[in-house]
Amino acid sequence: MDLKDIIRTIPDYPKPGIQFRDVTTLLGHPRAFRRAVDELVQPYAGQKIDKVAGIEARGFILGGAVAHQLSAGFIPLRKKGKLPHEVITESYELEYGVDAMEMHKDAVEPGERVLLVDDLIATGGTALAACKLLRKAEAEIVGAAFIICLPDLGGDTRLAEQGVSPSYLTWFGGH
């Protein structure tokens, strides 16, 4: 089974020229979902991982499953204003403006080893903001795991340049 074949591509979404890679088809396929989680976990099995941080929203689904497999805690990284307790915030630029991501202040202890998980790495803006947020809390980022990489957009390279080793299960050329 090739995971790439199970991921749906939606042309011209959310705007003309974009090929949206929709992992909901993979999440709905029991064998593919299980395989994806197993493969996301594999490079980190046997390592001490204290927490898995998942980026809203598909990163919650994947990150929760990965945390379970690694016997680690889970940290939700959310859009601004969605968490009910004291937070730390990291703003980041998007093509069309600025956004912000938040995490509870007490979600991670200094020195804890954290794996970042999301469905896709494209330009890397969101993943880099997540890494900055985790570093503000003095976490040690063990790596960043994704189902899909869009290497033409350079996010995987940007993460590596910031000292975060990215791993991914499949890639698509173009965007």
Q: Which residues are catalytic?
A: 58, 95
167 bridge partner residues: 145
Q: Give the length of the chain.
A: 175
Give the 3-state secondary structure of residue 165. Answer: coil
Q: Locate all alpha helices (DSSP H) within the chain, ordered by sequence.
A: 3-6, 24-27, 30-41, 58-70, 125-136, 155-161
Structure-block tokens of residue 45: 């099995």
Q: How far is 96 from 170, CA to CA, in rounded Å?
A: 27
CB 153 within 8 A of CB 143: no
